[in-house]
Structure 1
Amino acid sequence: MTAQNMDTIILPDLISTCPFKLECNQEYEIVSAETDAWLNSYGISNSESMTKYNRFWALAYPHASRTTLRNTSDAMTLMFMIDDLFDTSYGKGISDKTKQQLFKNIVDCFQPAGSFKPLTPFTTALHDWWQRMLDSTTPHFQEHFLNAYRIGVETVLSVLADKKTGQSVPDLETYIRIRRKTSFGDAGLAFIEYIFDIVLPDECWSNEALQHLSDCVTDVAAFANDIYSFNVEQIHDQYNLITVLMHDDSSLTIQQAMDRAGQMIIDRYNDFERIRREIPSWGKEIDAQVEKYINEATYMISGTIHWSFETPKYFGAQTEEAN
């Protein structure tokens, strides 16, 4: 991996150090074709052979049924594409005001049919998807997903505003808090509730240990993205975990910051294993659901790391070399 004004960087080994199993959903190819056809019906083109976006969800949710994987893949692949849209040169040409309007339109699309006015094919598709989900999901899932997504969008807009005013690079602790929201990891975790019909009382969700487990999953996804996308983001003069670490400790080289970021992910692996043993008991029935939630969350961790070297999103033609 190379970048401007720096030598080759050795990526941290996050695969052999990952203690969690990797599986791929057996419905992947069928669902991938269905999702791409659904997107195409709105004039939205996704080439799975080029992006591998549907593949990510098949790795993250290997035990989902065909129907639940399809519903998950439709929305989350679309959200991947929306994120890419704002990250590309096309997104750079959009004014901040227009970005705010588009993001607001995305949030507004999650409402019952009738009054919503889409501004793009993306929000038309998301709105239609949400009508489908309103008929087949629990209020618990709907609340958790919407809260996570709205908080994520609001935080993205706040970060955009800070960058416009030239606000300095945040300290590490602040950055991690922000990144947990902008990674939309909690939205991804909410789909575990949907896929496996998990309905836990608020007492469980407010438990500190379970919250820390969720943070571990989100941190791995966010930090890995920051490591693998660093080459692109530094070209566009954007900060992420690597630059935040170097800002916090000016003595660090890029390689040392990469190594430290990698160790932070390995620490999250270990934290997850430790914390899962500290989860309290809420009775046999609830405990079984909590255990299912935790076990399935491990696939989001392993899936994230392995998928990063299957998609050309980060390394393009150099993906094999990076791996």
Structure 2
Amino acid sequence: MFVPYDGPTAGELASTKIFIPDTVSETWPWPRRLNQHYLEVKVESAAWFASCKAFNSATVLDAFERIHCDLMSCLGYPIASKVHLRNICNIIRILYVIDEYSDVSKPSGVREQKNAIMDALHNPHKPRPKGEWVGGEMMRQTWERTIRDASAQSQKRFITVLDSFLEGMIQQAIDRNEHRIRDIQSYIDVRRETIAMKVLFALLELGLDIPDEVMSHPTIETMVIASMDMIIIDNDIASYNLEQARGDATHNFITIIMRELDMDVNGAMLWVADLHKENQKKFLEAMAAVPKWGEPIDSQMREYCDGLGNWVRSNYEWNFENERYFGTKGPEIQSKKWMTLMPKDCLKDSEEIGPVHVDYSLL
């Protein structure tokens, strides 16, 4: 079911403070961990990204670097080798480029972006067509490096889930173009694609060789979905204020809950926090019930499942450590557990593609 998007609710307008629930800090058994190669790969990946000229101005590039994509990579993959981590940093940067370009593109434009990305994956040694969207060449360069050291299984799964992610981005563009907002279940179905966690989970496998029948076991699938849904909740909590200030909050769980359940923004925050707790329980119960397949599969699955649990923690911490959502106020907002609701659409008129600097005094 679709509901027309027709502006903020009365509760949203009345609320000047947004509650930020602590969904992870006190309850999640995985601690914050940072890969030892962080400082090295950060410099290398940033230099590569600047050479690609994905954005047109130094201001936008600076705003992009404040997202700290490499910090996300090094928190999300704390035990990855330097070779794998370097490629992961590039891939996560590309995912954010896709996000920024697709947010301002018509569905047909997002389809063209997808075609360039997928063709580059299937033909990593073939020069890209002149005048093509920059993401095609970025992916070609990165995938050509990645496949030198990645297992065949991880390559296969990465290509499959990236295709699904890009289809989700096309659907998001269709919804935005038609001014539609989804109900809870249909939103979750699409958001599980657009959050890109299936893509990032595939990168946990770069040095592993896990058979399809093991990855498709119901217990593993339960863990994947539960961790992904927790990350969706945490990301949508963190991004809601920025997105509504940019006039682009229709693809956000908080907006969905406010509309469907007739709640104000803080009621929606509490609702998704309860859902987060339910998913924590599902994940931990499933992890305790992971089957035994024998070695070397069991040790590889322990590493993979640990990676799923770590991603919930790393995403939560990164939300407050990067400057995309809260600027330099992230640690303060994380501690106080509230922030000021920014004026609706106050960031809507940016003319450049890419992230924007926000006047974080508004928070």
User: What is the distance in 2 between the residues matched to 1:305 and 1:272?
Assistant: 16
**Which residue of 250, 266, 272 maps to 2:283?**
272
Deviates more, 1:206-215 or 1:125-134: 125-134
8 Å CA contact 1:22, 1:59 repeated in 2 = yes
**Which residue of 193, 200, 211 maps to 2:210?**
200
Deviates more, 1:114-123 or 1:62-71: 114-123
Deviates more, 1:57-66 or 1:156-165: 156-165
Sort the Cα spacing of 1:157 and 1:95 in 2 relative to 1 into closer, same or farther, 3 A: closer
Deviates more, 1:206-215 or 1:43-52: 43-52
User: What is the distance in 2 between the residues matched to 1:71 and 1:158?
Assistant: 28
Post-superposition shift, 1:166?
Answer: 4.0
Deviations 1:208-246 (A, max 9, x none): 110111112211222111111111222315321112122
User: What is the distance in 2 between the residues matched to 1:162 and 1:307?
Assistant: 28
Q: Which of the two has greater helix per residue?
A: 1
8 Å CA contact 2:107, 2:171 repeated in 1 = no
Q: 1:311 — aligned with what?
A: 322
Post-superposition shift, 1:106?
Answer: 2.2
Post-superposition shift, 1:17?
Answer: 2.7
User: What is the distance in 2 between the residues matched to 1:144 and 1:5?
Assistant: 46
Post-superposition shift, 1:28?
Answer: 0.2
Alignment of 1:253-272 (within 5 A): 253-272=264-283
Q: 1:82 — aligned with what?
A: 98
**Which residue of 162, 175, 178 maps to 1:162?**
175
Q: 1:13 — aligned with what?
A: 22
Deviations 1:31-66 (A, max 9, x none): 100101111222347558622110011001111111
Q: Write the letter of the residue equivalent to 2:71.
A: R
Q: Write the letter of the residue equivalent to 1:294.
A: C
**Which residue of 15, 32, 35 maps to 2:45?**
35
- Number of residue pairs the alignment of both structures matches: 312
Q: 1:72 — aligned with what?
A: 88
Q: 1:137 — aligned with what?
A: 150
Q: 1:58 — aligned with what?
A: 74
User: What is the distance in 1 between the residues matched to 2:47 and 2:127?
Assistant: 27
Identity, % of aligned positions: 24
- SS in structure 2 of the partner of residue 9 of structure 1: strand
**Which residue of 157, 167, 174 maps to 2:186?**
174
User: What is the distance in 1 between the residues matched to 2:169 and 2:256?
Assistant: 17
- SS in structure 1 of the partner of residue 214 of structure 2: helix
* Structure 1 vs Structure 2 CA RMSD: 2.1
Post-superposition shift, 1:317?
Answer: 4.4
User: What is the distance in 1 between the residues matched to 2:77 and 2:282?
Assistant: 22
Query: TM-score, normalized by length of structure 2?
Result: 0.80
8 Å CA contact 2:84, 2:149 repeated in 1 = no
User: What is the distance in 1 between the residues matched to 2:193 and 2:106?
Assistant: 23
Q: Write the letter of the residue equivalent to 1:6.
A: S
Query: TM-score, normalized by length of structure 1?
Result: 0.89
